[in-house]
Structure 1
Amino acid sequence: MATVTVSKQATAIAKNTIIVDGHIDVPYRLREKWVDVTQATDDGDFDYPRAIKGGLNAPFMSIYVPASLDGSAASTQLAHQLIDSVEAIVARAPDKFAIAYTTDDVKNHFAKGLISLPMGMENGSPIQGELKNLQTFYERGIRYITLAHSQSNHISDSSYDLRRQWKGLSPFGKTLIPAMNNIGMLIDISHVSDDAFYQTLELSKTPVIASHSSLRKFTPGFERNMDDDMIKALAKNGGVIMINFGSSFVTKEARQWRDGLAKAQNALIKKEGKDSEKLANFETEYRKENPYPYSTLDEVLDHIDHVVKLVGIEHVGLGSDFDGVGDSLPIGLKDVSYFPNLIQGLLDRGYKEPEIKKILSENVLRVWKQVEDYAKRHG
Structure 2
Amino acid sequence: MNKIRILGVAAILLSLISFQTYAQDDVALLKRAEQLHREMFSIDTHNDAIVKYTHPWRPDAGDRTQVTFPKMKEGGLDAAIFAVFLSQGPRNQNAYDSVMAYTVNEIDFFKSYVAERSSEVGIAYRSSDFWPLKRKGKSIVMFSLENAYGIGTDILNVERLYNLGVRVITLTHNYNNDVGDSSRDTVVEWKGLSPFGYQVVEEMNRLGMIVDVSHTSTETLYDCLEHSKAPIIASHSSVRAIKDIPRNLTDDEIRAIATKGGLIQVATGRWCLSDLPREQVNISIFCDHVDHVRNLVGADYVGIGTDFDGGGGMVGFEDVSKMKYITVELLRRGWPEEDIRKFWGENFLRVLREVEKISRQINL
TM-score by length of 2: 0.88
Q: CA deviation at 1:298?
A: 0.1
Preserved CA contact (<8 Å) 1:242 1:318? yes
Preserved CA contact (<8 Å) 1:189 1:208? yes
- The corresponding residue for 1:250 is 273
Pick from 203, 217, 222 the counterpart of residue 193 of structure 1.
217
Preserved CA contact (<8 Å) 1:156 1:166? yes
> Where does 1:84-103 land on structure 2 (aligned, <5 Å)?
84-103=108-127
- The corresponding residue for 1:343 is 327
Asked if 1:309 corresponds to 2:333, the answer is: no
CA deviation map 1:44-90 (0-9, x unaligned): 21112111011111100111111126541221111111111220221
Q: CA deviation at 1:34?
A: 5.5
Asked if 1:106 corresponds to 2:90, the answer is: no
93-102 vs 122-131, which moves further = 122-131
Other structure's SS at 1:334 match = coil
Cα distance in 2 for residues equivalent to 1:375 and 1:294: 45
Structure 2 unaligned regions, length at least 5? 1-21
Cα distance in 2 for residues equivalent to 1:152 and 1:202: 20
> Where does 1:124-135 land on structure 2 (aligned, <5 Å)?
124-135=148-159
- The corresponding residue for 1:240 is 263
Counterpart residue type for residue 176 of structure 1: V
Preserved CA contact (<8 Å) 1:294 1:329? no
Other structure's SS at 2:161 match = helix
- The corresponding residue for 1:282 is none
CA deviation map 1:85-114 (0-9, x unaligned): 220221110011111100111111111111
Q: CA deviation at 1:353?
A: 1.1
- The corresponding residue for 1:279 is none
- The corresponding residue for 2:68 is 47
- The corresponding residue for 1:137 is 161
Counterpart residue type for residue 276 of structure 2: E
Pick from 288, 292, 300 the counterpart of residue 286 of structure 2.
300
Cα distance in 2 for residues equivalent to 1:237 and 1:188: 14
Preserved CA contact (<8 Å) 1:69 1:75? no
Pick from 144, 147, 155 the counterpart of residue 123 of structure 1.
147
Structure 1 unaligned regions, length at least 5? 255-291
CA deviation map 1:156-199 (0-9, x unaligned): 11111011111111110011111111110100000000110111
Cα distance in 1 for residues equivalent to 2:198 and 2:242: 31
Change (3 A) 1:239 1:87: same
Other structure's SS at 1:120 match = strand
- The corresponding residue for 1:372 is 356
Cα distance in 2 for residues equivalent to 1:92 and 1:68: 33
> Where does 1:1-379 land on structure 2 (aligned, <5 Å)?
5=27, 6-33=29-56, 41-68=62-89, 70-71=91-92, 72=95, 73-220=97-244, 222-253=245-276, 292-325=278-311, 329-379=313-363
Counterpart residue type for residue 128 of structure 1: G
Counterpart residue type for residue 355 of structure 1: D
CA deviation map 1:298-323 (0-9, x unaligned): 00000110001000000001100011
Counterpart residue type for residue 64 of structure 1: F
Other structure's SS at 1:217 match = coil
Q: CA deviation at 1:348?
A: 0.5
Counterpart residue type for residue 46 of structure 2: H
Cα distance in 2 for residues equivalent to 1:301 and 1:90: 32
CA deviation map 1:122-143 (0-9, x unaligned): 0111212222111111011100
Cα distance in 2 for residues equivalent to 1:171 and 1:111: 44
Cα distance in 1 for residues equivalent to 2:316 and 2:344: 17
Matched pairs, number: 335
Runs of 4+ with >6 A deviation: none
Counterpart residue type for residue 68 of structure 1: G
Counterpart residue type for residue 105 of structure 2: Q
Between Structure 1 and Structure 2, whose CA radius of gyration is higher? Answer: 2
TM-score by length of 1: 0.85
Other structure's SS at 1:117 match = strand
Cα distance in 2 for residues equivalent to 1:47 and 1:70: 34
Cα distance in 2 for residues equivalent to 1:324 and 1:7: 28
Kindly report the root-mean-square deviation, in angstroms, between the aligned alpha carbons of the 2 structures. Answer: 1.9
Preserved CA contact (<8 Å) 1:54 1:338? yes
Other structure's SS at 1:218 match = coil
CA deviation map 1:233-257 (0-9, x unaligned): 0111110010100000111336xxx
